[in-house]
Structure 1
Amino acid sequence: MRLPMLAEMAPDAAGDGAHATLMPARALRILVVDDNADAAHMLALLLDQLGHASSVVLEAPKAVAAALAFQPDLVFLDLGMPHLNGFDLARDLRAHPALNQACLVALSGWGTEDDRARSRHAGMAHHLTKPVMLDEVTALLTQVAQAA
């Protein structure tokens, strides 16, 4: 697997440069909300490896409290979750002034034009369709980091 470089290579703690890690231009706080535990944790692992701080919520009704505590820069929202879908959750997140600056991103298997329009109407800035490609995620992260 090849990972595109987001910013610059940071030397390892030993300082010899033998084992360098990718560091983003600006580390983001990212909340992943998805009822698919494997998908959520895999995305969080990737985000952490890219130098960001991530947190995972598997139950949509718990996401607002988690977001208020974590204060994310970006929230990836699955749309087809039980009990509270991603559209309604986005509206709930937008109802809190403390979360107004967070970039909300739909990350779902639902990808029709109607789904995308509903995402925009619910307050989401972007809509990515699963399976999402790594270059789409890294481009989005770079865009959000530069805008903040």
Structure 2
Amino acid sequence: MKGLEFSANEKKMGWNCQPTRVVTFDDVKVPKENLLGERGHGFKYAMAGLDGGRINIASCSLGGAAKSLELATQYTKERKQFGKSISEFQNTQFTLAKMATKLEASRSLLRQAARMVAEGDPNGTMYSAMAKRYATDECFDVVNSALQ
């Protein structure tokens, strides 16, 4: 389509399964029969589309952090210190419990946000933003703790 341009894929440290490019529209003419929704409401539609993206990012963060906790738990059972598994040390147990709590809280908020968006709840946008922010922050902490 004349006036529509896509840049090269961005180089990212993560999320490489989802290519990211800049899309540029330069005086693009869209035939009336190809319009999606009502004319003049494009920004509103684009913003509503972000809700699913926020839920997707929160879900990906949650999945990665859950695997990190699984691997960390396995490691603590195998690693020996002072003649016993480090999983028996109270500090290790507290750390794993804190990690699991962060995951469960993230999962709960994420599920609530997904339900609200799916049902068209007017607060769905707010909850999807909350879930994305909370899950990405907390899941980063879980992965960071797993690496310790």
Whether TM-score is above 0.5 comes out as no
More helix by share: 2
Give TM-score, length-normalised by structure 2. Answer: 0.24
Q: TM-score, normalised by structure 1?
A: 0.24
Larger radius of gyration: 2
**Greater RCO (CA < 8 Å, at least 6 residues apart):** 2
